[in-house]
Amino acid sequence: MSPIGKPIVDARGINKSFNTAHVLKNVDLKVNAGEVVCIVGPSGSGKSTFLRLINGLEDIDGGQIEVGETTLPGAPKELLSVRRNVGMVFQNFNLFPHLTVLENLTLSPRRTGRMNRSGAENKARELLKRVGISEQSSKYPSQLSGGQQQRVAIARALAMEPQILLFDEPTSALDPENVNEVLNVMKELASSGITMIVVTHEMGFAREVADRIVFMADGQLLVDASPSQFFEHVEDERLRSFLSKIL
Ligand SMILES: Nc1ncnc2c1ncn2[C@@H]1O[C@H](COP(=O)(O)OP(=O)(O)OP(=O)(O)O)[C@@H](O)[C@H]1O
Ligand SMILES: [Mg+2]
């Protein structure tokens, strides 16, 4: 892992269009190793697209993103290296329904040759314990609550030992009573020093856990501030209007 203070994600002048829709407009964002950055903003502002570019899941039209030692856009080899370095947690968990919890966690480490079976299983059990669901390892995803499924998804992302974790609205699909158990796992991860970029509407979480909060609207990154500045000294009219709707 890079030392704290060195940018581990450095996006410069990022542009992205889908057909005629210009969905990211000259977006710049630096994230230092160990930082937690929350991204907030209205629907359609480009938050998910930006995460997908960082992870190499979409092509960049203009600009560059340095992710660890790798620069995107890049050759397939670079994309592979970025995807191995970056874990992603989605709103809808995206677990493999036909695999048990344990198998969901061991699949990628084994397929990529990173670990053998017993190594991958040991690591998986350790991670399931960390997210508080060690007793569920032989169940299938459909036998778990949403909060438990999301904790499995987080453990699965960690199984590849990523340097960076990206979260795209990880609690938006959960019943209210399951939100905190997922946020608590994320808080523990944040304090462990892993770099996290979190798209969320959970303003309490952002205020408490983020080192910086970033506001996106209409494809632009309009505000990048510490939590206290973000909530208390808001000069941007669109941010004020956004906050007045969700707080
Ligand atoms: N694969 C795609 N093809 C065409 N348009 C897309 C595609 N993905 C996203 N878009 C468009 O890009 C814009 C930004 O979408 P994006 O999903 O990044 O927004 P978002 O900020 O994550 O919104 P939400 O809060 O609703 O998740 C939207 O107008 C969306 O319709
Ligand atoms: Mg989105």
- Give, for all 247 residues of the chain, the pLDDT tens digit: 445 556 999 999 999 999 999 999 999 999 999 999 999 999 999 999 999 999 999 999 999 999 999 999 999 999 999 998 999 999 999 999 999 999 999 999 999 989 999 999 999 999 999 999 999 999 999 999 999 999 999 999 999 999 999 999 999 999 999 999 999 999 999 999 999 999 999 999 999 999 999 999 999 999 999 999 999 877 899 999 999 998 8
25 lies in some domain: yes
> Whole-angstrom Cα distance, residue 73 to residue 75?
7
Which mutation among 23, 24, 220 tests ligand 1's pocket best, with the greatest number of atoms within 8 A of CB? 23
91 lies in some domain: yes
- Is residue 65 within 8 Å of residue 56, measured between CB atoms? no
- Of all protein residues, whose CA lies closest to atom 18 belonging to ligand 1? 46
> Whole-angstrom Cα distance, residue 182 to residue 179?
6
Dihedral class, residue 47 (left if φ above 0, else alpha if ψ from -120 to 50, else beta): alpha
Ligand nearest to the CA of 43: 1
| Residues with a CB atom less than 6 Å from ligand 1 | 18, 21, 23, 41, 43-49
CATH number at residue 92: 3.40.50.300
Ligand 1 atom, smallest distance to 45 CA: 21
Ligand nearest to the CA of 214: 1
71 lies in some domain: yes
12 lies in some domain: yes
Backbone angles phi, psi at 10, to 5 degrees: -135, 100
1 lies in some domain: no
- Is residue 61 within 8 Å of residue 21, measured between CB atoms? no
> Whole-angstrom Cα distance, residue 115 to residue 106?
9
Task: Specify the pLDDT at position 131.
Answer: 97
Provide the β-strand partners of residue 225.
Answer: 213
Number of domains within the chain: 1
134 lies in some domain: yes
- Is residue 183 within 8 Å of residue 11, measured between CB atoms? no
2 lies in some domain: no
- Of all protein residues, whose CA lies closest to atom 28 belonging to ligand 1? 44
29 token code pair: 């964002």
- Of all protein residues, whose CA lies closest to atom 12 belonging to ligand 1? 23
Residues ≥6 apart with Cβ < 8 Å to 109: 115, 119, 120, 123, 159, 160
Ligand 1 atom, smallest distance to 49 CA: 18
- Of all protein residues, whose CA lies closest to atom 4 belonging to ligand 1? 18
Distance 171 CA to ligand 2 centre (A): 12
178 lies in some domain: yes
Distance 18 CA to ligand 1 centre (A): 9
Domain that holds residue 115: 7-246
β-strand 195-199 against 36-40: which pairing, if any? parallel
- Of all protein residues, whose CA lies closest to atom 1 belonging to ligand 1? 18
| Cis? peptide before 73, omega within 30° of 0 | yes
Residue 68 DSSP code: T
Ligand 1 atom, smallest distance to 91 CA: 27
